[in-house]
Chains A and B, each alone.
Chain A
C-alpha cells in the first residue's frame, strides 16, 4: 500500500508545483494547499501503514501491548495540519490585501514585482585616492 501512496504523493505534489508556477496567485494558493496535503501524506506513509489500530492504550493496561499504528508521525502531522492551515489563511489574507493595493493577482504583473530600490550609496565614494 505504501508504494501506491508514494505515487499518489508524487502526483499531488507535481500538481501542486504546476499550480504554484502558474503565475496566477489564486492558483498558487490552491497549489499550496495541495502541497500541504502531499507532505502530510508523505510523513504518514514514511511511518508505515502496517497496522490500522490507533495508538491508544486500552483501559486496564499500562503500556501499549498490541501492535498499533505509529504514533510519532501522527503527532508531527497533527501540528503540521494546523500550521499549514494558519499559513494558508495568512496567504489568503495576503492575497486579499495585495489585490486591494495593486488591483492584480498576476505574479508577473510589474505592479506586483518588487521594484529594485536604488539603495543609498552614501558613505561609499567612487574610487578616488583618500588620505593614507
Chain B
C-alpha cells in the first residue's frame, strides 16, 4: 500500500476525498447553526411545490428528531469521506464511489428531514438504490453482486410495502404531512384500515432495519467497502427503519398490536443476532451481527409508550452510531494495513498502531458499557426503559440483559482479538494509517467518553428534543452519570459479569450457534434463495411461453384481445346504423371509395410485387383524393408526395428481396382462421368509427383554433398553425421520431452485406 501513496491517481483520490468532504461539512455546520433554536423546541421548515396535483411537495422540516439523525448523518459523513480518501486510494473508480456516497448521504438526509410522506418515500428508495450500488461496488465479484441484489430485493420490497402503507394512510383519512401527525392519531388507530397500514409500514421499517425475519441481508451487505459498511450499514441507512418507527409512533403507536410486534420482533432479533455474532471469524461480519442486535434493541424500545422507554431507544441510537462507526472504520484500517480481517490471523497490533488501538478501546468500552463511557449511560437507560415497557416488561428486561451481556463479550473479542497478545509471524509490521483515516475512529471514540461524562448536556440538547419530537406527552428526559443504587445498576453489574462469562466460553458458544443455525429446518436466508430460484424459474417459463418468437402468435393474441375487449361490450349496445349518403351529392366520393376498395382487394390478392405496389399506390392516391374532396388540401398534398416517395423507396428495396411468387402459401385452415380474425378486427374498427359518429362532435378545440389562429399566431392556414405553433411540442416529438427512424435505417443499411 505504501507504493500507492506516490501514485498520481491515488493522490487524486485523496484530493477528491478531501474536497468532497466539504459537502457534509457544510451541511454539518448548517445543522450546528440551527441547533440552538431546534433544541429550544422550534421547528424549522421550508416547502416548495413539486407535483401539487399528487400532494407531492418538496417540504422539509427540522425538529429534534431530524436534528439527531442529521447530526449523525453529516458528522459520520464528514469522517467517512475523509477516511475514504485514504482507504480508497489507488482504486480505479473513486469518482463513482464518492458520487454514490454523497448521493446516498443526501437521500438519507432527505428521509429524516422530509415533511411530506411521498417525498420521504422517494428519498427512501434513493437510499435503497445507492445502498445497492455501494454493496455491489466491487461489481466484478459475483458474490458482491448477489449480495447487492439481495439487499435491493429485500429493502426494495419493503419500500413498496411502505408506499402501500402511505397510500392506505391517506385513504384512512390521514395526511401526507408529517407535521400534522402529533395529534389526531386516534382516528387512524380506530380506522378499519389500521391493521393493514400497520403491517405495511412495519414491513418497510423491518426490511430496512434488518429485523427478523429480514435480518439476513445485513451481514451479506458487508461486501461493500468498509467505510460504506460503517456509514450505511451501521450508522445511518439501517436506522432509517428506526426513524420510520419513531415518526409513526404518535400516529400508529400505542396499540396492542404495535407493542406486541415491536417488542417481540425486536427482542428476538437482538438476542439471536447477538448470539450469532460469535460464529464468524470475519470481523466485519461479527460487527454486522451486533448491528442487527442494536437495531433489534431499538425496535423493542419503540414498542413502549412512556418517556423512559423512548429515551432508551433514542439514546441507544446515538451510542450505537458512535461506537459502531468507530469500530467499522478501525476494522477497515486493520484490513487496509494487514490485508486481512480474519480474527484467527490477527493479534498484537496494539503496539504497531497505538492510535487505532486507543480508538477501538474507547469504542469497545462504550459498547461493553463500562462506567464513564457513553455506552454505560445508554445501558442504564435501557434497563430503566425495559423495566418500564408497557407490554412484556420481563421479556424485554431479560432480552436486554442477555443481548447486552453478549455484546460485552463481543466487544472484548473485537478489542482483544486483533490488538492484544502476540503478533502472528505471518503478519507484516504495521503502523497507523494517514491522518484522514485515523481521525474518524479517534473522534468517534473520544465522543463516546465526552458524552459519557456529560450526559446532562447530551440529554438536554440532543435526546430530549429528539424524544419530544415523537412523544407528544413531553415528559422530561434526563440522563445522568449516576442514577443511584437501583435496579438498572444491579442489572448493569449482572451484565458485565455475564459478559465476562460469555467471553470465557466464546469459542464453544460460537461453534454451537453455528451448528444450530445450520441445522434449523427453515432459515430466512434459505427461504430467500429458494423463493428467488422458483421465481426466476417461473418467470423464465412464462417468457418462453409468451415470447416464443412467432410473429403470428403475437399478432393473434393482440388481435384476439382487441376483438374480445372491444367487441364484446360493443355488442351489448345494439345495431349501429348510419344514414346512407345521398348518391347524387357524393357521386365522385363514392366512386373514389369504390376504387380504394378495389385497389385494396388487388393488394390482397396480388401474386407479384408490381401488382401489390400498384394497388398500394391506388389506395394511397384514393385516400388523398378523399382528403382533397372534404376540405383538406394540406394532407392531400402530403399524402400524394408520400405516395411518390414510398414508391421510390419500396421499389429500391423490394427489387432486392425475394419475389412474392416464391413465398409459401398458408395452409387452408390457417387462411380461414386468419381471415376470420382479420374480418373481426376490421369489423371492430368500422363499428368503433360508427360509434364515434353516433355522438355529437365536440368542436370546441377546433373553434378555439379557428378563432385564435390569425389573431394570436398570425397564420391563415389553421392546420399549419396548429402544427408549428399551438401544438409545436407534439410536432417536435414527431420530427424527432422521423430523424431517429432515418438514422436507425441508415445504420442498418451500412452494415448490411449484399444479399446472396
Contacts and interface: CB of A to CB of B under 8 A. Distances in A.
Asked whether the complex places CB atoms of A and B closer than 8 A, the reply is yes
A30 to B, nearest CB: 5
B142 to A, nearest CB: 6
B678 A123 contact: no
Contacts of B540: 119
Interface string A109-126: 000111110010111111
A130 B755 contact: no
Contact of B722 (A41, A75, A83, A90): A75
Contact of A12 (B581, B600, B609, B664): B600
Contact of B710 (A57, A74, A108): A57
Nearest to A115: B549
B555 A93 contact: no
Contacts of A100: 752-755
Contacts, number: 349
Contacts of B612: 27, 30
Nearest to B617: A33
Interface string B734-747: 10011001101100
Given A20-B555, A62-B710, A64-B706, A83 B738 contact: yes
A79 B550 contact: no
A29 B581 CA distance: 33
A116 to B, nearest CB: 5
A93 B683 CA distance: 32
A104 to B, nearest CB: 8
A71 to B, nearest CB: 4
B434 interface: no
Contacts of B718: 55-57, 64, 71
B738 A72 contact: no
A55 B719 contact: yes
A83 B589 CA distance: 26
Given A46-B689, A56-B716, A106-B663, A15 B646 contact: no
A5 B710 contact: no
Interface string B632-662: 1111001100100110011001101110100
A114 to B, nearest CB: 4
B525 A74 contact: no
B625 to A, nearest CB: 11
B526 A1 contact: no
A70 to B, nearest CB: 5
A71 B734 contact: no
A90 B718 CA distance: 31
B681 A4 contact: no
B693 A83 contact: no
A132 B526 contact: yes
A96 B657 contact: yes
B630 A93 contact: no
Interface in A43-77: 44-49, 51-59, 61-64, 68-72, 74-75, 77
Given A72-B705, A103-B756, A21 B552 contact: yes
A76 B529 CA distance: 52
B514 to A, nearest CB: 9
Interface in B675-706: 675, 677-679, 681-683, 685-690, 692-693, 697, 699, 701-702, 705-706
Contacts of B577: 3
Contacts of A106: 663-664
A131 B727 CA distance: 60
A94 B544 CA distance: 25
A15 B520 CA distance: 65
A6 B693 contact: yes
A99 B657 contact: yes
Given A3-B578, A59-B716, A114-B547, A127 B530 contact: yes
Contact of A10 (B520, B686, B693): B686
A17 B551 CA distance: 12
Interface residues of A, number: 107
Interface in A9-39: 9-24, 26-30, 33-34, 37-38
Interface string B603-619: 11010010010001001
B195 to A, nearest CB: 28
A19 B717 CA distance: 38
Interface string A82-104: 11111111101111110111010
Contact of B666 (A23, A52, A88, A97): A23
Contacts of B555: 17, 20-21
B751 interface: yes
A9 B533 contact: no
A58 B612 CA distance: 42
Contacts of A14: 678-679, 681-683
A69 B578 contact: no
B282 interface: no
A3 B686 CA distance: 9
B580 A83 contact: no
B657 A26 contact: yes
Contact of B642 (A10, A23, A28, A81): A81
Contacts of B276: 132
Interface stretch (B65-73, B329-337, B435-443, B590-598): B590-598
Given A33-B646, A99-B658, A113-B549, A86 B741 contact: yes
A108 B462 CA distance: 71
A131 B754 CA distance: 58
Nearest to A72: B702
B660 A40 contact: no
Interface in B527-583: 528-530, 532-534, 536, 540, 543-544, 547-552, 555-556, 559, 577-581
The 5 lowest CB-CB distance pairs between A and B, nearest first, are A14-B682, A10-B686, A69-B631, A3-B578, A113-B549
Given A62-B711, A100-B752, 12 more contacts: A5-B593, A7-B686, A12-B682, A17-B674, A26-B654, A28-B551, A40-B635, A72-B705, A78-B634, A88-B649, A113-B550, A131-B216
19 contacts: A10-B682, A10-B689, A15-B601, A15-B682, A23-B666, A30-B603, A33-B646, A54-B634, A55-B718, A57-B710, A79-B734, A83-B734, A85-B646, A89-B745, A90-B745, A99-B755, A100-B755, A101-B752, A131-B526
Interface of A: 1-24, 26-30, 33-34, 37-38, 40-42, 44-49, 51-59, 61-64, 68-72, 74-75, 77-79, 81-90, 92-97, 99-101, 103, 105-108, 112-116, 119, 121-132
